[in-house]
A = this chain, B = another copy of it.
């Protein structure tokens, strides 16, 4: 890439990385997060019967990334809640999505073109959080590569990584699966992203932080908008994983039930409860359609 081309792009990337996320992008993050909470079976009923528990779940969905990162780094998990304006904003979003008269707010934000804009804005926040997490961990542990990667990962994945316990708060308990055993796209993308950001932070990847934020955000926006618009669950990482996993791990990773059967003649230790019939499908895939139908029914 010649310099003339690079300069405007560099400036664009720098401007992009400097965009303030509060309040617009954060609001979009809260809206999509609480929307997904509303899709969960029983969430609407819980909001009527136990509004406080519903509010707490919404706060976990909105701020789960900060809670997890603080837990990992030995800081106060409740620390982020000292940002009163963010909490009040998230509370307002929760209240409007669950209790707006005639469900008006919910209908507006789940109108597909509008929703896609919010999905894109949420990805901007996600990637910023990954970068900030890696940066913060680097500040505490200059050479703690694994610490940086873990912090960036939990910042990107957010509440998904504590889904078993968020469900427990709602009175639901599904121990046979979790986000680490069966990774959804955002969690997997956050994992790969945090590796890239850690390599960049430790100068192993010759790219500026602003450029990496820009390009990775564009990638995430394209993927998530496409997947949301088409209800497709084809993982963009599948081709690469199908190449590497059989070599490294003697099989494909969980995402390819066909390949799963081909390579697994030998290892049939199923003394624990059988995994869900399509283990490759993440929670996201199995639930999204059902959730939306139930959410509509519940209004």
Contacts and interface: CB of A to CB of B under 8 A. Distances in A.
Contact of A171 (B53, B79, B181): B181
Interface stretch (A10-18, A80-88, A218-226): A80-88
B53 A181 contact: yes
A91 to B, nearest CB: 9
A245 interface: yes
A41 B41 CA distance: 32
A145 B84 contact: yes
Interface string A41-75: 11111111111110010000000000000111111
A72 B82 contact: no
A5 interface: no
A271 interface: yes
Contacts of A151: 78
Nearest to A51: B249
A230 interface: no
Interface stretch (A25-33, A120-128, A260-268): A260-268
B82 A147 contact: yes
Contact of A298 (B42, B73, B178, B266): B266
Contact of A49 (B41, B146, B176, B254): B254
A192 B183 CA distance: 39
Residue from the set A78, A79, A251, A263 with the largest chain B CB neighbour count within 10 Å: A78
A254 B50 contact: yes
Given A147-B78, A171-B275, A51 B270 contact: no
A172 B169 contact: no
A175 B167 CA distance: 9
A183 B50 CA distance: 9
A298 B269 contact: yes
A297 B272 contact: no
A44 B267 contact: yes
A269 B49 contact: no
A153 to B, nearest CB: 10
A143 interface: yes
A151 B82 CA distance: 12
Contact of A270 (B42, B79, B170, B183): B42
A43 B298 CA distance: 40
Given A74-B76, A78-B73, A48 B171 contact: no
A182 B74 contact: no
26 contacts: A41-B269, A41-B271, A49-B251, A49-B253, A50-B183, A56-B180, A71-B77, A74-B74, A75-B76, A78-B146, A78-B150, A81-B147, A82-B147, A84-B145, A84-B146, A87-B146, A168-B178, A169-B181, A170-B181, A171-B176, A171-B181, A171-B272, A171-B275, A173-B175, A269-B294, A271-B294
- Which 6 residue pairs across A and B have the least CB separation, nearest first? A82-B144, A173-B175, A74-B76, A41-B271, A48-B251, A81-B146
